[in-house]
Amino acid sequence: TTLVKQIYRDAESFGGKEVKVSGWVRTVRDSKVFGFIELNDGSFFKNIQIVFDESLENFKEITKLSVSSSIVVEGILELTPGAKQPFEIKARKIVIEGTSTPEYPLQKKRHTLEYLRTIAHLRPRSNTFSAVFRVRSLAAYAIHKFFQERGFVYVHTPIITGSDAEGAGAMFRVTTLDLRDTPRTPEGDIDFSQDFFEKETNLTVSGQLEAETFALAFRNVYTFGPTFRAEKSNTARHAAEFWMIEPEVAFADLEDNMRLAEDMVKYIITYVMENAPEEMEFFNKFIDTGLFDRLNNIVNSDFERITYTEAVDILKKSGEKFEYPVEWGMDLQTEHERYITEKVFKKPVFVINYPKDIKAFYMRLNDDGKTVAAMDLLVPGVGEIIGGSQREERLDVLEKRMEELGLKKEDYWWYLELRKYGGTKHSGYGLGFERMIMYLTGMSNIRDVIPFPRTTGNAEF
């Protein structure tokens, strides 16, 4: 069997030759004596046109095929320069493998993204989702390629952990399943000392702390895996299960960290534009008509760098009526982030040196005693796609910060030992993979860039 992608990439060499393809019917049109099938074989975003006529013994059956039926076609590939399709297959034989019914939900008409979410098992067959999930796959590959080419070691950090990296909000707790037998304390709480792990565990919110242990052995490392946050916020940018890429680099400061992030984002965009031109064309035409301009602009510009304090000044002086008025010390909201990237700079912006009180315990305290060496990368259309920092390597400063926040040293003993045994300056960040895909495709809801989205009340599939 020949894959349709091979034919598209090298049509000349297939011209006039016998081919055999298999796939799913997207449309059938017929007149009395001949007909056309748009076939998608899954290997490529685009369809191939099949021409058939009444010389086929099952001509009648073929004209009655429902959308999504699966067939195997043998015939001659004919180049048709000048026609709407650059080539078509003149069928000699069509075998019907699996029929479908007229109730098939994905008929030719356009469907809303909201509707398609309710049929997550079928939506990969639509053009939009075919493009999204091909781009998602390629972007993942581009990320591995970027880090591997630079000698980074890929570390698989645990999904089930006994620590909380971010202290940012609710986590999913892990306990053994048999609820009747779950051991309870006299107060009725779950008794974790009797549980599988003999302690309280949760699904990881970030692989960072474990990645740090590897960075202090391998120097340059990265993780790429699922992370979990029990976010109740029902937004277009938050999911309870999302994938994160977390590089961690020894001997690197905040500047090095930003340079790596900027190079990585540009690399991903360039790679996907070059390797998924048909899909990207589709997004630029049907999803976000400013997409190419924006992506090209990003690849060719230097990202802006401003401090949190400067960002607050800009927002205060903007005269803009924000839902959340801006004060130094508050966390920037999406409306603020978008104002900065979309109205002021019109390109990606690193905001650095946030107040320590709105950031995680591990971020390195700056000399002013009030801010930490944090960096968030904000991009037009999406807002924050990356959060990172230089890490606190000074044991005494770190311990003091943990005390202030009420974190127990015993719980982080291994993390603290990294500061005792050859501790060094080091930095890293986390890229939200779905946010990156939204940015790449122009899709505006996180539910539409992950195959089976997990948001509040949504775990049907």
Binding site for ligand 4AD (CB under 6 A): 165-166, 168, 206, 208, 229, 231, 238-239, 242, 244, 246, 384-389, 428-430, 432, 434-435, 446
Neighbouring C-beta atoms of residue 179, cutoff 10 Å: 8
Cα separation values, 353 from 350, 373, 387, Å: 10, 5, 12
DSSP H helices in 94-159? 113-117, 127-149
Residues 180, 171: Cα–Cα separation, whole Å = 23
Residue in this structure with the two tokens 């924006």, named with its chain if needed:
294
Rule CB under 5 A: is residue 348 a binding residue for Mg ion? no
Nearer to Mg ion, 72 or 230 (CB): 230
User: Who's near 131: CB < 8 A, 6+ residues apart?
Assistant: 45, 276, 279, 282, 283, 441
Nearer to ligand 4AD, 38 or 376 (CB): 376
Nearer to ligand 4AD, 195 or 231 (CB): 231
Task: Indicate which of Mg ion, ligand 4AD, none lies near residue 35 (CB less than 5 to 8 Å, by partner kind).
Answer: none
Q: Residue 39: is it exposed, middle or buried by C-beta count within 10 angstroms (0-12/13-18/19+)?
A: buried
CA torsion angle 224 226 228 234 (round to 10): 100
Task: Indicate which of ligand 4AD, Mg ion, none lies near residue 442 (CB less than 5 to 8 Å, by partner kind).
Answer: none
Task: Indicate which of Mg ion, ligand 4AD, none lies near residue 231 (CB less than 5 to 8 Å, by partner kind).
Answer: ligand 4AD
Q: Per 3-state DSSP, what percentage of the chain is helix, strand, and coil (rounded to 5)? A: 35, 25, 40
Q: Residue 144: is it exposed, middle or buried by C-beta count within 10 angstroms (0-12/13-18/19+)?
A: middle
Nearer to ligand 4AD, 83 or 170 (CB): 170
Q: How far is the CB of 4 from ligand 4AD (least distance, A)?
A: 34
Residues 257, 353: Cα–Cα separation, whole Å = 13
The amino acid present at 229, given as its one-letter code, is R
Task: Indicate which of ligand 4AD, Mg ion, none lies near residue 429 (CB less than 5 to 8 Å, by partner kind).
Answer: ligand 4AD
Q: Hey, is 245 helix, strand or coil?
A: strand
Task: Indicate which of ligand 4AD, Mg ion, none lies near residue 116 (CB less than 5 to 8 Å, by partner kind).
Answer: none
DSSP 158: -
Nearer to Mg ion, 128 or 206 (CB): 206
Q: Hey, is 218 helix, strand or coil?
A: helix
Nearer to ligand 4AD, 95 or 160 (CB): 160
Nearer to ligand 4AD, 380 or 428 (CB): 428
Per-residue x/- marks for Mg ion, 349-388, CB under 5 A?
--------------------------------------x-
Task: Indicate which of ligand 4AD, Mg ion, none lies near residue 238 (CB less than 5 to 8 Å, by partner kind).
Answer: ligand 4AD
Q: Residue 345: is it exposed, middle or buried by C-beta count within 10 angstroms (0-12/13-18/19+)?
A: middle
Task: Indicate which of Mg ion, ligand 4AD, none lies near residue 455 (CB less than 5 to 8 Å, by partner kind).
Answer: none
> What tokens appear for 72 in the block?
């195997």
Nearer to Mg ion, 35 or 432 (CB): 432
Task: Indicate which of Mg ion, ligand 4AD, none lies near residue 130 (CB less than 5 to 8 Å, by partner kind).
Answer: none
Residues 141, 416: Cα–Cα separation, whole Å = 34
Taking CB under 5 A as the criterion, which residues in 248-277 touch Mg ion?
none
Nearer to ligand 4AD, 73 or 245 (CB): 245
Nearer to Mg ion, 169 or 277 (CB): 169
Residues 447, 97: Cα–Cα separation, whole Å = 33
Question: How many CA atoms are closer than 13 Å to the CA of 89, on its beta-carbon side?
Answer: 28
Helix (H) or strand (E) holding 76: strand 70-79
Cα separation values, 306 from 262, 310, 314, 337, 379, Å: 14, 6, 10, 12, 13
The amino acid present at 178, given as its one-letter code, is D
Nearer to Mg ion, 95 or 358 (CB): 358
Question: How many CA atoms are closer than 13 Å to the CA of 198, on its beta-carbon side?
Answer: 0
Task: Indicate which of Mg ion, ligand 4AD, none lies near residue 385 (CB less than 5 to 8 Å, by partner kind).
Answer: ligand 4AD
Helix (H) or strand (E) holding 202: strand 201-203
Q: How far is the CB of 231 from Mg ion (least distance, A)?
A: 12
Task: Indicate which of Mg ion, ligand 4AD, none lies near residue 229 (CB less than 5 to 8 Å, by partner kind).
Answer: ligand 4AD
Q: How far is the CB of 191 from ligand 4AD (least distance, A)?
A: 30
Task: Indicate which of ligand 4AD, Mg ion, none lies near residue 388 (CB less than 5 to 8 Å, by partner kind).
Answer: ligand 4AD
Q: How far is the CB of 102 from ligand 4AD (least distance, A)?
A: 38
Note the residues at the interface with Mg ion (CB under 5 A).
Answer: 387
